[in-house]
Structure 1
Amino acid sequence: MNKRLITLLSIGGAVAALTACNNNEQDAQNGETIVEVNDTVITEEEFINELKETYGEQMLNEMVQTTVLEDKAEEVGVTEEQVQEELDQYKENFNAEDDDELLMLLQTQYQLPVTSIEQFKNELIRPQLILEELTREDVDLSDEAKQEYFEVNEEDLAEVRARHILVESEEEADELYEELQEGADFEELASEHSIDPGSGAQGGDLGFFSRGEMVEEFEETAFSLDEGEVSEPVESDFGFHIIEVIEKRESFEELEEQIEEALIQQEARSPEEVMEEIMAEAEINVQDPAYSDWIEQ
């Protein structure tokens, strides 16, 4: 399951169910019958009491936390555009063509009790974005901080996009290298000869990677090549590789986004820490003594 959706479920997955219960509170007080099973009557009051007994404390705390987060929205500046961007990302991740298809997936595949996309946005996406902004609000993302991080971690930050042809024997690798020197197409040879099941069908393309992600022999060669350069066969425990570097990211400008993410991961507070802080700051007055022990202050 998508990690962000897991977080969203933890914040507000049950809010809609409790809201529906609250909307029917008056009917519950009247003891209206909702189901008859043989000779037994189940009233709405019994149903709602059972829900409260089983899920009430968790739901109430989630509703309080969502309210407290919403009060922080203006402070952190979460916009409708950000919420829409996040919604669009969900549709892309779930291969949903439109809002209706996404809503159906949320309801059926993830059992999320939302009845509309607007509810999903307002009760789940928006609070999560507010919480994320609060976790990173004290992170120093100034140009000076980013430049300092780059200078200290320049080697580890560098990324290479490469493709390779992996074969079992050195003899075959030498033959393929010679063909490449004579003008053969790298992607075609990779598709035809590479025994790497992951990249072979993609013309040998491995995408971008940084140091520490590949075996030592492969990595050392890949990072030493210039863009467009093809290596002689390189042996590793997997066989013999011919490597072509497609693109390199080494400058501050090329790596700025990764630097920001690294600083956020390094310095951001945990969501739990932020929630504890803003709950402690909030003015929460439990009016009904029956619920005095439910709220986690």
Structure 2
Amino acid sequence: MWDTILHYIQNGPVKLEIIESILMIAGILLLRTILLQAHFRSHPTMPIEEKRRWAVMGRNVTLILVIFGLTIIWAAQIHTLALSMFAVAAAVVLATKELIMCLSGSVLRATTKQYSVGDYIEVNGLRGRVVDINLFNTLMMQIGPNTQVGQLSGKAVSFPNSLLLSHSVQRDNVMGSYIIHTFDIPVPIHLDSDQIVPPLQQLLEKRCAPFVPAIEKHLEAVQTQKLFITPAAQPRITRVPHDDKVYNIVVRFASPLQLRLDIQQTVLDEYIRIQYRLLNPSA
């Protein structure tokens, strides 16, 4: 059998293309390995998220180069095959519609820089931290199930990149290492907001005070560099009517990305204590 295969490669109509394809793929894989290892050795203190981002980018670039190289090498055979399959072209397009949409969504993400590995995003109700991206889907560690908590659930969830064509993408860390975080607290309508908001505001300002000057400078730099309209860094609590049973207290503050959940939990804990005292005045 091996003699037959070797004879076909040596004397068949596509022997040169096979050899060129093997050498091209091996060369690209070797080059990717050398470049990544050299980059990692030159940056020994690189965080694991940054290494993951470089590895994912290297894999995707390698796949694109391999596809592009194979297309060039096999151009003549592809052209001949295309002519013979012209009658079924429409059926092929319909059969690969979802695949084409995934590729289009991947191109859209790359060109608009919607998100990358390590970002916190939400798409079509799916919320999590991105850990892997390829040409067809995105993998992230799920946040939930309670959106008010915002912690990683330990589950992985993936979605096809075609969702990027029909749904908006919410990205938490668009401001870099800092974030403007907002959450709602539903309050029974009979509880006096004047007894709830002032202590929460005082606590929130105390927690955020160490970060406000640095965040203000950072937001000014972001506004200058990216031409973003950046929000204020000062914490704020707003009262919003909802219905005849509850009203909402909207809490908004700026903080380092890794501390936003701690500050949110501190405010929620204080609200629960205040609510208990208001509902049990004799306790």
Q: TM-score range by the shorter chain?
A: under 0.3
Higher strand share: 2
Give the TM-score normalised by structure 1.
0.21
Give the TM-score normalised by structure 2.
0.22
Structure ranking higher on relative contact order (CA contacts 8 Å, 6+ apart): 1
